[in-house]
């Protein structure tokens, strides 16, 4: 099910000024507010990751900039799922206090994931982050460059799904 939320322009403008991603913020707040159990919360993040991956794939040819962001968001949701799965309460508590995730938080999760799952995780995350910076923020990547990185985001998601269902 999909839901469209219409926000006042001043909220959208202020969020942009603060560098906040409203979609992620809304998703995170709703998940936290529902007080889901950790397994449900992991499942929600993976469902969102799959949705972003699907949307990113669809956009590669027509809009590589947006495709880059959607693929990054898929990896970000995978990382959030890992934080919950590994019970990284120090990170999760800071995120909840602050009300949003930072790159530092995500990097801490990735460092733990590398210890548990191996160095490939860091490579997959770095690829997603490259898409975020160079594909989305800088808008320097064409469809071919984005497409060539798709397999790394797919592998990240498939690996996380396997890990959290053990």
Cα–Cα distance for residue pair 60/116, rounded to 1 Å: 32
In a domain, 3, yes or no: no
Interval 54-96: pLDDT, tens? 999 999 999 999 999 999 999 999 999 999 999 999 999 999 8
In a domain, 48, yes or no: yes
Q: Which domain holds residue 33?
A: 9-164
**Cα 99 from chain centre:** 16
In a domain, 90, yes or no: yes
In a domain, 13, yes or no: yes
Q: What is the pLDDT of residue 21?
A: 77
Domain with residue 126: its CATH number is: 1.20.120.330
Q: What is the pLDDT of residue 140?
A: 98
112 pLDDT more than 80: yes
DSSP secondary-structure letter at 19? T
Percent of the chain with pLDDT over 90: 75
Cα–Cα distance for residue pair 100/45, rounded to 1 Å: 15
Q: What is the pLDDT of residue 3?
A: 80
1 pLDDT more than 80: no
In a domain, 65, yes or no: yes
Q: What is the pLDDT of residue 58?
A: 98
Give one DSSP letter per residue of 28-95, joined into a string: HHHHHHTT--HHHHHHHHHHHHHHHHHHHHHHTTT-HHHHHHHHHHHHHHHHHHHHHHTT-HHHHHHH
Q: What is the pLDDT of residue 61?
A: 98
Q: What is the pLDDT of residue 80?
A: 97
What is the average per-residue pLDDT within 116-120? 96
pTM metric for this prediction: 0.89
Counting the structural domains of the chain, the total is: 1
What is the average per-residue pLDDT within 19-43? 83
């Amino acid at each position: 099910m999909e839901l469209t939320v219409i926000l006042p322009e001043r909220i959208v403008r202020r969020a942009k000024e603060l560098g906040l991603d409203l979609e992620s913020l809304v998703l995170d707040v709703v998940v936290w507010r529902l007080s889901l159990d950790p397994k449900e919360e992991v499942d929600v993040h993976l469902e969102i990751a799959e949705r972003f991956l699907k949307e990113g794939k669809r956009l590669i040819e027509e809009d590589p900039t947006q495709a880059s962001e959607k693929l990054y968001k898929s990896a970000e949701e995978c990382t959030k799922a890992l934080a919950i799965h590994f019970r990284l309460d120090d990170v999760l508590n800071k995120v909840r206090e602050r009300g949003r995730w930072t790159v530092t938080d995500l990097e801490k999760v990735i460092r733990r994931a590398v210890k548990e799952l191996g160095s490939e995780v860091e490579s997959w995350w770095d690829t997603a982050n490259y898409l975020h910076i160079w594909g989305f923020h800088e808008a320097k990547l064409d469809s071919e460059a984005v497409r060539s990185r798709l397999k790394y985001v797919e592998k990240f998601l498939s690996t996380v799904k396997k890990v959290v269902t053990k």
